A and B are shown apart, each in its own frame.
Chain A
Amino acid sequence: MALPRLIFVTGKGGTGKSTIAAALALAFAQRGRCLLASLDGRASAAQMLDFGQGGESVARRTSKVPEPLTLDRRTELEAFIGRIVPMRAIANRMLRSRTFGYVTAAVPGLEAFLLMERMRTIAGDAALNNYHVVADAPASGNALEMLSVAGGVRGLAPLGVLNRIANGVEALLTDSRRFGVLVTATPDELSVLEALDIARRLDELHIAPIAMLLNCAVDSMFEASELEALRKLDGHHQLAVRRRELARRTDTARRRLKSAGVDLIELPMLFCAELHGRELSSLARRLGDTLLANEAAA
């Protein structure tokens, strides 16, 4: 099955969302055109592709890199007000007014909602022009707000512009050819619980998860029998025990994530002091081999 046009990468904070989004976009870019969208207004994923100091940047290793795109909530709100309030002076005044700030703050998720509307137009363009978009989405809580906000807005606004937009956004989210979610986790227990929670919420929202991605997977390296023989090497014994503990957590996480009934893919823990172009390219290769194996070359 082909991957959707827009892939929304989310998970608990600290599970490597930006790294994974950057690596996935890189894998796509090796095969055709790809946009790497950062939804936090900070382009943290795009920065991954261009580590300045100390290491080789991906951009210098290959010419086939994804195109960065930085989106943020405030800009989308401004664009929206500009559309519905035709006079620029009034639109600007409204945006500057603190009162308006309070009103928008009181409509939960208005800005997130407008960001989703932007996702819809981007996914439409990607389908039309045959490319893919990888979105480095916020951590679970905010991401779920983005994914469920359309339904809420429709409830608040039974008629009018926002109602029409809400219908469009919901149609995007439930169309598995245009939209899918990649849920990231690490062997850390809380991140696994959060990933399972996201999977449940996606199911309720009729949004298709692409896969659960277990990042930082560790292999045990030592057999239990070998551990016994290491007792005389105190420090090394402890280190081997730590290794096996990480591997055990990986196993538990794997088992739990599989229970969601969604494909599970894994990326290994990178034992390195800093992440450089070489490491990112190796992650991209792995993602290419698993997730993109069935993608037709563009």
Chain B
Amino acid sequence: MKPLLESILARRLVICVGPGGVGKTTSSAMFGLSAAGAGRAVDVMTIDPAPRLLDALGLDTASNAPQAVDLNGLAARRGGRMRAMRLDPKHTFDRIVASYAPSAVARDAILENRIYRNLSAALAGIADYMAIERLLELHEQGGADLIVLDTPPAAEAMEFLDAPRRLLEFLNSRAVTLLGASGSMLRGGISLVDLAARAVLSAFDRVTGLHLLRDVQGFVRGFDGMYPGFADRAARAQALLRDKSCIAIIVTTAEPGRSAQVRSFVDGLTATGVAIGAVLVNRVSPALPRPVGARRSDVASAIRRKLGANLADFRALKRREVGALAAIREIVPEGVPLIIAPDLGHEPRRLSDLIEIGRRLKPA
């Protein structure tokens, strides 16, 4: 497995994607530690790590600042280091708005706008976009040999990698024209159809009592002048994701229903032009023992019965797992390795647990 792991970790950027609850964050940390152990400078960006994982990494649960992971006892090669940071979408968005706003007044108008406040706090798409933004920031700072990005659990598989394009599209759309933007954002004139739609929207606004239009206009106008900056960043982020040095690892578990989810990630990544480095199946249970022979006289019959019952239970679970794994195998595109990570039988509690998972990766 070593060459495979090494070829993954030789990249500059590894993105772990996958459905919720499959151990994406654990895998991100595992990849990061393996690379740091091999002497590389690694930044790992996580979204919402479990308290226990933070404990395992020896990190402060409350902080969002980059924190160095203590690699003592890992016997990491020279130059190996790992920093972990948590992503705070709201904070990142605010900072970007602040850095592109032409003036302090423009900045405050945006930050205090009702639509912006709701957008940045409530829309999942914004968190996705911010993860990509932060990635670009880290990449351009250039402090690390490898950046590992853990992604938010995506309901719609590829919303995440598509986020820069969607934000651009919004800022560049007819909506923006329609809602009364001016200057650099105005693309072409306003048609009669647009005027009619605008009248309907105002009626909607009055009936519902939302009085949103004014805020939407304020939001859109606020972005006037920031558009070129945003467009440029989004384009750079897109280019980064499609670069040869970037791969995505699809993380999953061998449970019923996962194959359909894996398929949607495979399709989404292919459509966005991001290379798939591997499909990683987490928490695969160890092989089962043979039944205790009926003639073994040193095992009491009561215990033998229990052992039989226990084995039967785990065999049923194993059949479920084998079926799910076979279904996933069908989905994995040709040339993409399918990798299995063992179930340790407990949640990772120490750095050494994560290292052990890395060491015990094997092809399926």
Question: B-contacting residues of A (Cβ < 8 Å)?
Answer: 12-14, 81, 84-85, 90, 93-94, 97-100, 102-103, 105-109, 139, 145, 156-163, 188-191, 193, 221-222, 226, 229-230, 232-236, 238-243, 245, 271-274
Contact = CB atoms under 8 A, between A and B. Distances in A.
Interface in B69-108: none
A218 B323 CA distance: 22
A271 B313 contact: yes
B303 A229 contact: yes
Contacts of B51: 193
B175 A271 contact: no
B52 interface: yes
Between A234, A235, A272, the greatest number of chain B beta carbons within 10 A of the residue's beta carbon is seen for: A235
Contact of A94 (B118, B197, B320): B197
B311 interface: yes
Contacts of B288: 235, 239
B178 to A, nearest CB: 5
A13 B203 contact: no
B200 A107 contact: no
Interface of B: 19-21, 50-52, 114-115, 118-119, 121-123, 153, 170, 173-175, 178-179, 197, 200-201, 203-204, 206-213, 216, 219, 255-256, 286, 288-290, 292, 298-299, 303, 306-307, 309-314, 316-317, 319-320, 323, 345-347
B153 A107 contact: no
23 contacts: A14-B21, A81-B204, A85-B200, A94-B197, A94-B200, A94-B204, A102-B170, A103-B216, A106-B115, A157-B209, A157-B211, A160-B207, A188-B21, A190-B21, A221-B306, A230-B307, A236-B307, A242-B314, A242-B345, A245-B346, A273-B319, A274-B256, A274-B323
Given A94-B200, A236-B289, A239-B288, 18 more contacts: A84-B207, A99-B178, A103-B212, A103-B216, A106-B115, A106-B118, A108-B123, A109-B122, A157-B208, A160-B208, A190-B50, A233-B289, A233-B307, A238-B289, A240-B310, A241-B345, A243-B310, A274-B323
A89 B289 CA distance: 68
Given A229-B303, A236-B307, A99 B179 contact: yes
Given A106-B115, A159-B209, A233-B289, A273 B345 contact: no
Given A160-B208, A271-B313, A14 B200 contact: no
A235 B289 contact: yes
A161 B207 CA distance: 7
Contacts of A274: 256, 320, 323
B307 A240 contact: yes
Nearest to A81: B204
Given A94-B197, A102-B175, A105-B123, A189 B303 contact: no
Given A99-B201, A102-B170, A162-B208, A108 B122 contact: yes
Given A109-B122, A190-B50, A245 B289 contact: no
A222 B305 CA distance: 11
A229 B304 CA distance: 12
A105 B175 CA distance: 12
A221 B310 CA distance: 8
B307 A100 contact: no
A36 B119 CA distance: 33
Contacts of B52: 189
Contacts of B212: 103, 106-107, 156
A271 B316 contact: yes
A81 B121 CA distance: 26
Contacts of B346: 245
B174 A99 contact: yes
A54 B347 CA distance: 34
Contact of B173 (A102, A107, A238): A102
A131 to B, nearest CB: 30
A233 B170 contact: no
A163 B174 CA distance: 30
B311 to A, nearest CB: 7
Contacts of A156: 114, 210, 212
Contact of A161 (B197, B208, B286): B208
A272 B200 contact: no
Contacts of B203: 85
A231 to B, nearest CB: 12
Contacts of B207: 84, 160-161
A107 B346 CA distance: 43
Contacts of A273: 316-317, 319-320, 323
B61 to A, nearest CB: 12
A191 B50 CA distance: 10
A142 B170 CA distance: 23
A159 B211 CA distance: 10
Given A97-B197, A221-B310, A245-B345, A161 B209 contact: yes
Nearest to B125: A105
B311 A239 contact: yes
B318 to A, nearest CB: 8
A200 to B, nearest CB: 16
A61 B21 CA distance: 34
